[in-house]
Structure 1
């Protein structure tokens, strides 16, 4: 599997959402990055995945 960038349009959100938690791949397949963001319906969430990786978003 190759590394990928996944783009998720957030137009399904009704308003800006504070405190979004995103867990995605770190620099290796054994590390996890955690970040917190404020997102709005106008945003596109871009998640970088390494081969064999994954992500979780908590709204």
Structure 2
């Protein structure tokens, strides 16, 4: 439960976790070029400027 509280307090963390999960889940279905891009994204998450989403 404490982890849920931390994620709800930081929406960027939720976006990052979702992105990582989506990339990893689809990795085996991607083309070699897609795998290179996915690999770069996973290795450089700190450089990607995530913005909080304001969904209602």
TM-score, reference length from structure 2: 0.25
TM-score, structure 1 normalization: 0.25
Q: Which of the pair has more CA radius of gyration?
A: 2
Higher helix share: 2
User: Would you tell me which structure has more strand in proportion to its own residues?
Assistant: 1
